[in-house]
A and B are shown apart, each in its own frame.
Chain A
Amino acid sequence: MKMKLLHGIAAAALALGAGTAMADEDAELVINGDLEIVTKTDAPAHLEGAVGEIMSGWRFRDSTTQVMQMDDFDNPGMIFVDDARDMWATAEGSEGKSCMDCHGEPEDMAGVKPVYPKWNEAAGEVRTLQMQMNDCRENRMGAETWKYDAGDAVAMEALLASVSRGMPVNVATDGPGQSTWEQGKELYYTRTGQLDLSCASCHELNYGNMIRADHLSQGQVNGFPTYRLKNTKLNGIHSRFKGCVRDTRAETFSAGSPEFVALEMYVASRGNGLSVEGPSVRN
């Protein structure tokens, strides 16, 4: 039986080389001519035995899509970043404060995005950047919280990502957040739905392979939020998770749910060492 299978695989490898349009997996990402982005590097220690090298989703896109991310004028995601800059400086809520009143310039927040999701000692929980933003809105500004992964929240996350571009993702896998991280890991390897697939089925075992017309990446989140040509808007991490889980014919979790917070923490840590890249461009 093994023999037959090997034969089939060899034949597949032979025939496929020809037809499929591949991304240029050796291209390097430099934004605006000077900002070097690490899109491929050694996997973090916790992935030993699973993945040797980690790669940004950018490497798996075709060259037209790749080029859009090399210049901020060509990156549609940057329009949302500009909107968020305005929001950053706009006072809102009962306290009449803006983000800027407490945090200064958006650039002063460089280094924040790479370590999220992270443990919040006072709250006793792991928080995503969007959860933290909403905490500020509610408790420091007296403003309404933003809907998870919806327009304003994703745009602000994109602004905070953009000022950290080029910095290495560095999500803690130990310490008080470890149990959440473990929960995320469990979810990553759990098969769901009638197709009975886990994240690992596609993004660990099959990255680099085509699944119908899609070139499977490692499903990294260092590029989020991503501007997708498919729906012409910025997309949050949890929305992407939802889409992937739905595609296994499963009942998904919702954006902002504890399950997706844990999964985000774990998936983000699989990209420890890649550069923050958001807002990225994907198809």
Chain B
Amino acid sequence: MKRTTIALAAFALGTGMAFADTVAPGNVAFDGYEVAESLTGTPGDPEKGREIMTNKSEGNCISCHAAEAYADVPFHGEVGPMLDGAGDRWSEAELRGLVVNAKMAFEGTVMPAFYKTEGFNRLGDGFTGKAHPEDKPVEPLLNAQQVEDVVAYLKTLTE
């Protein structure tokens, strides 16, 4: 019994340590609209980034952005610009800034901020239409590693 408790405690601490390197949404350091520092210190995985961007229940970037690079996935939106070549047009720091909070680059843009947890009006509890419970922590649309994965994939979108 004692043993298990100690083991569990160690485990919890372990994950806690890993998280210590993660930059919280409120602490992201912008230089203009750029974010130079990785949010996790762990390099992003472009494969995962592609999945996140094209998956409806994850980033769902595809609902607004088309790209030749993921033309195999059906139904591309047209609200935002096409993303082919984004990896040439923007540096990694710029892309990170765009995904974290595109409003820093494009004032008043309709592109949502994917790594932000404060400052919303009538925040809902996901897609339930109900108010977000006061005592429930607000999750950003993407977590820190997902942002890194998306940035890594965007960097591969060169022409």
Taking CB atoms, residues of chain B closer than 8 Å to A12 are 65-66, 78, 80-82
A122 close to B (CB within 8 Å): no
Instruction: Provide the residues of chain B in CB contact with A42, threshold 8 Å.
Output: none
Residue of B with least CB distance to A243: B129
- In the complex, whether B136 has a CB less than 8 A from a CB of chain A is no
For chain A, give the interface size range.
Answer: 35 or more
Does B3 sit within 8 A of A, measured CB to CB?
no
Task: Identify the closest chain B residue to A3 (Cβ).
Answer: B89
When the two chains form the complex, which single residue of B89, B130, B141 contacts A251, counting CB atoms closer than 8 Å?
B130
Q: How many residues of B contact A (CB 8 A)?
A: 43
B112/A9 in contact, CB under 8 A: no
B156 to chain A, nearest CB (A): 16
* Whole-angstrom CA separation of A192 from B65 in the bound complex: 21
* B66 and A191 contacting across the interface, CB-CB below 8 Å: no
Does any Cβ of B come within 8 Å of A50's Cβ? no
Contact in complex: A251, B124 (CB < 8 Å): yes
Assess whether A16 is in contact with B81, with CB atoms less than 8 Å apart: no
Check if A251 sits within 8 Å of B84, measured CB to CB.
Answer: no
Q: Is A7 an interface residue (CB 8 A)?
A: yes
Q: In the complex, A132 Cα to B106 Cα: how many Å?
A: 45
Q: Choose, from A65-73, A95-103, A169-177, A194-202, the stretch at the interface.
A: A194-202
* B112 x A194 contact (CB < 8 A): yes
B75: interface (CB < 8 Å): yes
Distance, CA A4 to CA B154, complexed state (A): 15
| A210 lies within 8 A of B81 (CB) | no
The 8 closest A-B pairs by CB, nearest first: A8-B81, A12-B82, A246-B129, A212-B63, A251-B131, A4-B89, A209-B78, A213-B75
Binding site for B on A (CB under 8 A): 1, 4-5, 7-9, 11-12, 14-16, 19-20, 190-197, 201-202, 205-206, 209-213, 216, 242, 245-252
